């Protein structure tokens, strides 16, 4: 009756009563001692990476030396035991309904574009814009300026470069959606006319709805989290090309 109430087996209960049960200890492998220093160096270099991305970098190093790769669960256990995991953050999200799908089933169907801005230590303000494919999430083109704003001319140059790189010509062979926000550089009359001449179909996100362009917004967050917040930024000349490429 006691075993049924506690939800344990009779043999387990008997072992605890007579003292023959062994205390549970933390699981440990012999490989942990060799892997832990590698993980600590990777975490120190990439403090914003989670255990899955650390596992990918770790296995790349292990394969280069001829060693066997490790499982991501193994890396998670080691990082958890040594307090190397990322802290979970809770943020309340607004109750906005987004039923549309931005992701496409193949490349060159929908391109997403957005801008970003960050400041260097000497006060230089770097502003940029980019175009990312909604299928493979590859950055096709980008523009960056220092101590100035992204203009419609910059956006038009970026559109032309995207079409040339993707299709090898000056016009898309089929209509391609160009998703962006309602910034003045995107909604300018010259930009919309130029986009249609290239075979693009401009479309814009609703007001106060950044989730509608979630792929581009996610890239901006990743750029700031994995580069801007953890990298030395003395001035714009030494950081624009390195950071964006």
Q: What is the pLDDT of residues 174-194, one digit of tens each?
A: 999 999 998 899 999 999 999
Q: How many angstroms separate the CA atoms of 228 and 68, rounded?
A: 33
> Which pLDDT tens digit goes with each residue over 49-87?
999 999 999 999 999 999 999 999 999 999 998 899 987
Six-digit token pair at 215? 């792929």
> Which pLDDT tens digit goes with each residue over 135-189?
999 999 999 999 999 999 999 999 999 999 999 999 999 999 999 998 899 999 9
Six-digit token pair at 102? 């931005």
The SS3 of residue 15 is helix
Six-digit token pair at 184? 């003045």
């Amino acid at each position: 009756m006691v075993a049924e109430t506690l939800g344990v087996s009779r043999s387990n209960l008997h072992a605890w009563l007579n003292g023959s049960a062994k205390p549970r200890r933390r699981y440990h492998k012999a490989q942990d001692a060799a892997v832990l220093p590698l993980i600590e160096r990777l975490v120190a270099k990439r403090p914003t990476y989670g255990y899955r991305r650390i596992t990918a970098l770790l296995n790349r190093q292990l394969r280069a030396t001829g060693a066997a790769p490790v499982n991501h669960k193994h890396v998670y256990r080691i990082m958890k035991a040594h307090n190397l995991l990322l802290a979970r953050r809770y943020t309340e999200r607004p109750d906005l309904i987004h039923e549309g799908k931005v992701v496409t089933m193949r490349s060159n169907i929908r391109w997403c574009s957005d801008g970003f801005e960050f400041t260097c230590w000497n006060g230089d303000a770097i502003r940029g814009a980019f175009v990312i494919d909604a299928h493979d999430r590859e950055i096709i083109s980008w523009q960056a300026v220092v101590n100035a704003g992204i203009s419609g001319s910059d956006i038009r140059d970026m559109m032309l470069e995207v079409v040339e790189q993707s299709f090898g010509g000056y016009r898309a062979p089929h209509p391609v959606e160009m998703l962006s926000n309602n910034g003045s550089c995107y909604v300018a009359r010259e930009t919309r006319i130029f986009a249609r001449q290239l075979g693009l179909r401009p479309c814009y996100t609703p007001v106060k709805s950044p989730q509608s362009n979630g792929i581009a917004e996610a890239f901006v967050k990743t750029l700031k989290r994995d580069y801007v917040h953890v990298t030395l930024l003395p001035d714009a000349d030494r950081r624009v090309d390195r950071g964006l490429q």
